[in-house]
C-alpha cells in the first residue's frame, strides 16, 4: 500500500507548468485544485494567517498541530501561504501572485472577493490570461446568488435528498460525504481544463462559474425530462428503483448486503438461472411484468439471497454472469484485492502524523499518470520560498508583513 507516487512530480505531468492559487476553504474549490495538482499543477494554498483553513480542524485530529486526517488527505500536493486577503497589503500580494499564476480557485459567497478588491475585473487586469474558478452554493447570478451554500443544502435544493431514504420515511442525506462539494470540485476542474484549452487558442482567460446545487441536479438521469413530459414526481424508492426490477439491495444469510442490478430482460434471465427458478422467468420474462409485480419478484430474490452467505452468493452470481456486488464497509474496501490491484489506497509518511492512508489518484493515465507527492501541508510550509522566489520580497519585507499580521511564515 505504500505510495508509489510520493516524491517529486515528473516534468512530463500533463499540467506541469500550470500554477494554481487555491483561495477556497473546506472542499469544493480546493478539491478542484487537488485534482489539478495530481496531474502536475503547482498549487499554492492561500489561507487565513491566524487559524488557517477551517478544514484543518474538520475530522480526526493528528499529532501534527491538530491537523486532521481530512486535511492531510484532501489538501495534498500543496504549499501553504497564510495571507490575510482582507488587508490591503494582503490583497496586493495576492494580485501580485496572480500575475505569476494561471488559475485561481475560490468558493467564497458571491461578492466577497469584490469587497476585497479581488474581483474578476481587478484580477484579469493584472493577468488577462487568468482562469478564475468560482464555486458557490447558487452560482454568481440569479436571485439566490447571495445565499450561503453548503453541500447538505445543495443536495436538498438540487433534488437528490428527496430521492434518498425509504418510501415511508423521511428524506435522508445520501451518505455522510459532502457529495455536492466533491462533484462541484470535479465540474470545476473540468471547467478549468476547458478554459485552459481555449486560452491556448485565444490567449485570454475567463470565469468558470459552478453552483453546488447544479452539480447535483446534473446527475439525476431522467428526472427533469420525465417531469416535463408526464408531470411525474419521483419519490423515495428505498433499496430499489421504479425503473427496473429486481434492481436494488438484498440481505444475505450472514446479515450482510449485496447490490443486484437487472436493467434488462437478459440480465433477469441469468438471475433466474442462478436462482434455479425457471418459473420466475416464465412469468416475468419482460420488464413491464416485473415492474407490475415488483413486490413478488423482489421477495423471491430476497428469499434467495437470504439463503446464502455473502461470499458464496457473490461467487454464484459471478459464475452466472449476474451483476452482483458487495455493499462494502470501509473495512471491506481495505481488504479487497481489486482495490489493492488498482492502487486505490496509498500510504504516505508524515514526520509528525506518521503513516497516513489516503485515496489514490483518479483517473489512471497510461503514459502520464497522476501523483500524490505530499500530504496536506503544515501551515506556512513553503511560504517564505513563494514570497522570495515569485515576488522577490526581502527578508526585511517579509518580517514587516508578518509583524503586521498580513502573512505567516512559521
Question: Could you write out the three-class secondary structure of 2-24?
Answer: ECCCCCCCCCCCCCCCCEEEECC
Residue 7, pLDDT score: 66
> Grid cell 520560498 — which residue?
385
Neighbours of 121 (CB within 10 A): 9
Residue 8, pLDDT score: 78
Cis peptide bond N-terminal to 338, omega within 30: no
Active site residues: 181
Residue 110 CA to its chain's centroid (Å): 21
Q: What is the pTM of this model?
A: 0.94
Question: CA–CA distance from 134 to each of 30, 40, 281 (Å)?
Answer: 11, 21, 53
The dihedral sign for the CA sequence 269, 270, 273, 277 = negative
Tens of pLDDT along the chain (410 residues)?
554 445 678 888 999 999 999 999 999 999 999 999 999 999 999 999 999 999 999 999 999 999 999 999 999 999 999 999 999 999 999 999 999 999 999 999 999 999 999 999 999 999 999 999 999 999 999 999 999 989 999 999 999 999 999 999 999 998 777 999 999 999 999 999 999 999 999 999 999 999 999 999 999 999 999 999 999 999 999 999 888 999 999 999 999 999 999 999 999 999 999 999 999 999 999 999 999 999 999 999 999 999 999 999 999 999 999 999 999 999 999 999 999 999 999 999 999 999 999 999 999 999 999 999 999 999 999 999 999 999 999 999 999 999 999 999 97
Q: Of 184, 189, 183, 197, which Cα lies nearest the Cα of 139?
A: 184
Domains of the chain as residue ranges with CATH: 19-218+343-403 (3.40.50.10540), 247-335 (3.30.1540.10)
Residue 311, pLDDT score: 97
Amino acid at each position: 500500500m505504500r505510495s508509489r507516487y510520493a516524491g517529486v512530480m515528473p516534468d512530463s505531468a500533463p499540467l506541469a507548468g500550470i500554477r494554481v492559487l487555491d483561495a477556497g476553504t473546506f472542499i469544493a474549490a480546493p478539491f478542484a485544485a487537488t485534482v489539478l495538482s495530481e496531474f502536475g499543477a503547482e498549487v499554492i494554498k492561500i489561507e487565513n494567517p491566524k487559524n488557517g483553513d477551517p478544514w484543518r480542524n474538520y475530522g480526526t485530529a493528528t499529532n501534527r498541530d491538530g491537523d486532521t486526517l481530512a486535511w492531510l488527505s484532501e489538501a495534498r500536493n500543496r504549499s501553504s501561504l497564510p495571507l490575510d486577503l482582507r488587508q490591503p497589503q494582503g490583497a496586493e500580494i495576492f494580485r501580485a501572485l496572480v500575475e505569476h499564476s494561471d488559475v485561481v480557485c475560490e468558493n467564497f459567497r458571491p461578492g466577497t472577493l469584490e469587497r476585497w478588491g479581488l474581483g474578476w475585473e481587478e484580477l484579469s487586469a493584472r493577468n488577462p490570461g487568468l482562469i478564475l474558478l468560482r464555486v458557490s452554493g447558487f452560482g454568481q447570478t440569479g436571485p439566490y446568488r447571495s445565499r450561503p451554500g453548503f453541500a447538505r443544502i445543495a443536495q436538498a435544493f438540487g433534488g437528490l435528498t428527496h430521492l434518498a431514504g425509504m418510501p415511508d420515511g423521511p428524506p435522508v442525506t445520501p451518505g455522510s460525504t459532502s457529495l455536492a462539494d466533491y462533484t462541484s470540485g470535479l465540474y470545476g476542474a473540468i471547467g478549468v481544463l476547458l478554459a485552459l484549452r481555449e486560452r491556448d487558442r485565444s490567449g485570454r482567460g475567463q470565469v468558470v462559474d459552478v453552483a453546488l446545487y447544479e452539480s447535483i441536479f446534473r446527475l439525476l438521469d431522467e428526472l427533469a425530462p420525465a417531469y416535463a413530459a408526464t408531470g411525474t414526481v419521483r419519490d423515495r424508492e428505498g433499496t430499489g428503483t421504479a425503473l427496473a426490477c429486481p434492481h436494488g439491495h438484498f440481505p444475505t444469510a450472514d446479515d450482510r448486503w449485496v447490490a443486484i442490478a437487472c436493467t434488462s430482460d437478459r440480465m433477469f434471465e441469468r438471475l433466474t438461472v442462478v436462482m434455479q427458478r425457471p418459473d420466475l422467468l416464465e412469468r416475468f420474462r419482460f420488464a413491464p411484468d416485473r415492474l407490475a409485480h415488483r413486490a413478488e419478484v423482489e421477495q423471491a430474490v430476497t428469499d434467495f439471497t437470504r439463503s446464502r452467505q455473502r461470499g458464496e452468493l457473490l461467487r454464484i452470481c459471478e459464475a452466472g454472469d449476474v451483476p452482483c456486488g458487495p455493499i462494502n464497509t470501509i473495512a471491506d474496501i481495505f481488504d479487497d484485492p481489486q482495490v489493492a490491484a488498482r492502487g486505490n489506497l496509498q500510504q504516505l509518511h508524515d514526520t509528525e502524523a506518521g503513516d497516513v492512508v489516503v485515496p489514490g489518484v483518479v483517473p489512471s493515465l497510461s503514459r502520464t499518470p497522476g501523483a500524490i507527492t505530499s500530504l496536506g501541508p503544515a501551515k506556512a510550509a513553503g511560504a517564505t520560498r513563494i514570497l522570495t522566489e515569485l515576488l522577490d520580497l526581502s527578508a526585511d519585507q517579509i518580517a514587516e508583513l508578518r509583524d503586521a499580521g498580513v502573512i505567516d511564515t512559521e
